[in-house]
Amino acid sequence: AFYGRIAAVHGENPYVRTPVEFAGDPLWPLIGPKWVDTPAVYGPAFTTLSSVVARTVETPAGQVRAYRWIAALASLATIAVIATTARRMRPERAAFAVAAFGLNPVVLFHGVASGHNDLLVAFAVAVGFLLLVHDRTFAAVAVLAVGTLIKATVGLPLVLVLVWCVARAPAGRRARATATHVGLAVVIGLAFAAPFVQAHDPTLGMLELAGHEGWLA
């Protein structure tokens, strides 16, 4: 929420400026000590989303509710995608697949109740897999690219899908498959990153994230 306010309310780049520089912000008393001088570590797609939330919701309590609603809706959408995929591939296990995710305490209490963007990550991965089931590789790459721009963890399934798309292409068309699929991911990345690109941290938080430590990590 604070990084969204740095971008939307204060008009600064959250990958360069840190919360301690905006100690007059209403959210400042709620920032944990570890984050006061840490630049944004989420991807530019999520920073864009948090900027929208910052523009539309002013109070700290309203911000909490907004992110909880986003997490809740993302979890419900993920359940729907899981159900659709399971019914197509293993219909006899569809109910179990839905319950394994939808009733998971980590999803319910840590993810949804805490308003984490990991539910957007789960949604992106689930949609990407469903698209691959339907052999819609370009759409799958696009969805996973956006997911990576929410949180870097989606980068692994994106790389796996890109490698798979290239490997399954005929030998004479692999260069084209590489250019088109990787190119699509790069174009999407540049589109979201463009407003935040600068020389101070061209990795947009990835360098900071690589050395970030926390008890969950």
So what's the pLDDT on residue 215?
61
C-alpha 171/C-alpha 168 separation (Å) is 9
So what's the pLDDT on residue 214?
63
List pLDDT tens digits, range 144-199: 999 999 999 999 999 999 999 999 999 889 999 999 999 999 999 999 999 999 98
List pLDDT tens digits, range 195-210: 999 988 888 888 777 7
Residue carrying the six token digits 């998971």: 104
- Amino acid sitting at position 185: A
C-alpha 81/C-alpha 143 separation (Å) is 13
So what's the pLDDT on residue 217?
52
Residues 6+ apart with CB under 8 A from 10: 17, 22, 25
So what's the pLDDT on residue 33?
86
Name the token pair of 174: 């692999």
So what's the pLDDT on residue 166?
93
Contact 54, 4 (CB under 8 A): yes
C-alpha 4/C-alpha 40 separation (Å) is 9
So what's the pLDDT on residue 208?
78
Backbone angles phi, psi at 31, to 5 degrees: -80, 130
Name the token pair of 104: 């998971």
